[in-house]
Chains A and B, each alone.
Chain A
Amino acid sequence: MKTNRKALLTSAALAAAAGLGAATALAQDGPIRIGVLEDQSGDFAAATMVKVHAIELAAKEINDAGGIAGRPVELVVYDTQSDNRRYQEFMRRVLQQDKVDVVFAGFSSASREAYRPIVNQFDGLAFYNNQYEGGVCDANMIVTGAVPEQQFSTLIPWMMETYGPKVYTLAADYNFGQISAEWVRQIVAENGGEMVGEEFIPLGVSQFSQTIQNIQATDADFVVTLLVGAAQASYYEQAASADVGLPMASSVNVGQGYEHKRFTPPSLKDMYVTTNYIEEIDTPASKAFVEKFRAMFPDEPYINQEAANSYIAMNLYKQMVERAGSTDHDAIRAELGKGDVCFDGPSGNVCLDPKSQHMSHTIFLAKVEADHSIAFPTVWENIAPYWLGDAGCDLTKNDPSAQYTPSSPPPAN
């Protein structure tokens, strides 16, 4: 793979374009260096290879169009092997040795927490382009992935209205699962529903007979599946063969690991997912995105929400640097603080929230049909990441560099 080392994407076309016109003040600064730390091998590779490709696509487009403020973009890519330690090693490497201007990094929340202290120590700027459990209030981080309030405040009420008020939650037994389950519980209660069961599954468990029976023993109207990883994904096949037959709601499947493409129909039948992007979305912007993506990477198995987020993040960064007139982090954050950093991309219009430095999204409800094709029963536009700001995180005023959850919110002041 050419991408894996320091892939230098300085395009020849750019050199020609920038040669006379834009080569005035900014050209002497040299290229803008962007660090990319993503898992290209190991457990998470299936969902994250495409993120690297999306960043490469965006870099090529930016360079072809004259770079960021006339400066070409240069990517510094490392493979983190789905290993937290590699994130620690390589985050130091890109910040200290490669001296990049910005980093795009991380898939699992654990990897984000592993590199965050290092980003803070060197006062770097990192984009985390993943859907996650929410709550990171850190001035050095910009998050473009969807968070629970965006995915569940839409999904759960819709499901309860459509299928009934009794909810069973099946969640991976770690931070993402537990915090997401907390959100589900809260939203179900707010909407007058009832939790008939809640079960947490350790990571790596692949046998679900008992769980399936527990679900059948209740009179649940639908199951919220917040399962993570290849082993736990075995649940769907096993539940289907035991004729559980309940609709499923999820914030994590399909949009990330494209399970509907990998599993044999109809094991994912009647799964409902809220996602901010998947390649089936039938808008002109999305179709154009898929087309140019496949033109550059014809063998890409699936273009997921993280790919779109990474692509959007590149363009948001470009916009902020050009508006600020520099790659200085304070100048960039000053632009972000104005609250009008928006981008009309493959998933519709998105904006960065100055208080939490998270991103608003168009949330699509994707329904998996019996043949594993995707339908979109409804779409919610412009869903803001409201929770952190409401709870008291305001990065325009102070920077606690912490992660909060609904049960341990920011300290009241």
Chain B
Amino acid sequence: MELAATLFSTAYQFGDAFAFLVISCAGLAVIFGMMGVINLAHGEFIMCGAYVTAATARAGLPLPLAILCGALVAGLVGMALERAVIRHLYHRPLDSIIATWGVSLIATQGVLIVLGSTMQGVGTPLGGVAVGDRSYSLYRLVLMGAAVALLAGLYWLFYRTRFGVVARATIERPQMARALGVDTRRVYGLTFGLGAALAGLAGGLYAPTMTMVPTMGATFMVESFVTVVVGGADIFVGAAPAAAILAAIRAGLTAWYGQLFGQIGLLVAVIVVIRILPGGLSAFIKRARR
């Protein structure tokens, strides 16, 4: 019984870190992996999703619907941003970093001015469950399930639907896709919107567990960048295993040495991985498969 409780505790910690990494990096990974754009406004899309979720939930919408609302609004904002700004910068990846950082500044401070410095959150639903002599948050278990479902959903979207095929074709050979009659601009726009919506979903999912402030997106940024970089360009063969490895590093270091080493260990892991595998895990795995 003691052993089972300890095992559950370890698995819970790992799953919790894994879910956080997967959910927070999915949007960034889609935009970076599919379009090569580093989106520094990722955190602000997360904030957007969280704010919309909190607002609609407090207005009386059931939480799951409110979360979807958050994702939807973030996606629409993302598509508008793509049309207005990102579209002009596809051939200038470094400039798109600066542009999205500008967007992030405007969004953070704009929200502070318009909506004030904080917003009342929604409480975490579902309460706790006791295993052994410890209790755990049930909602966190839901988040773990959501992470797995998210990966499965993305796999289905990119490998089992027409949009997925066209999107992957556009990313691999844009000229060829255009020659075959694909509206590549529309595909880029939709992909960016999808990435933004995923960020919004992350915000919505974590909104009930966090403090709602305009700068809340920043707390996701480091973790999501680390995961995407370690994973490399492909979200499935890269980001998911990267999240698993990093979650193990993070949960382990935090458990044994405390939060400081969990934080620093994550950053050091990035540097080491980039040095050994410049293309990230996905390039390595793809090479190994051949």
Contact = CB atoms under 8 A, between A and B. Distances in A.
A240 B124 CA distance: 8
Contacts of B17: 207, 209
Interface in B182-215: 208-213, 215
Contact of B213 (A202, A210, A230, A265): A230
Interface string B93-121: 00000000000000001001000111111
Interface stretch (B131-139, B158-166, B237-245): B131-139
Contacts, number: 120
Contact residues on B (Cβ < 8 Å of other chain), bracket: 35 or more
Contact of B259 (A202, A233, A237): A202
Interface of A: 41, 43, 45-46, 49, 173, 199-202, 204-207, 209-211, 213, 216-217, 230-231, 233-234, 237-238, 240-245, 261-265, 267, 301
B257 to A, nearest CB: 11
Interface of B: 9, 12-13, 16-17, 20, 109, 112, 116-124, 126-128, 130, 133-140, 208-213, 215-216, 218-219, 251, 254-255, 258-260, 262-263
A210 B124 contact: no
Given A242-B136, A243-B135, A262-B118, A173 B124 contact: no
B134 A45 contact: no
Contact of A264 (B122, B138, B260): B122
Contact of A244 (B135, B139, B218): B135
Chain A to chain B: the 9 pairs with minimum beta-carbon distance, closest first: A243-B128, A264-B123, A46-B117, A241-B124, A241-B137, A243-B135, A230-B213, A242-B137, A233-B211
Given A173-B260, A213-B134, A234-B209, A241 B20 contact: no
Given A206-B210, A230-B215, A242-B135, A213 B13 contact: yes
B219 A238 contact: no
Contacts of A216: 133-135
B265 to A, nearest CB: 12
A234 B139 CA distance: 14
B220 to A, nearest CB: 8
A244 B135 CA distance: 7
Contacts of A205: 219, 259, 263
A173 B260 CA distance: 8
Contacts of B215: 43, 230
A209 B136 CA distance: 9
Contacts of B259: 173, 199-202, 205, 210-211
A237 B12 contact: no
Contact of B123 (A202, A243, A267): A267
A99 B123 CA distance: 49
Nearest to A49: B117
A219 B98 CA distance: 50
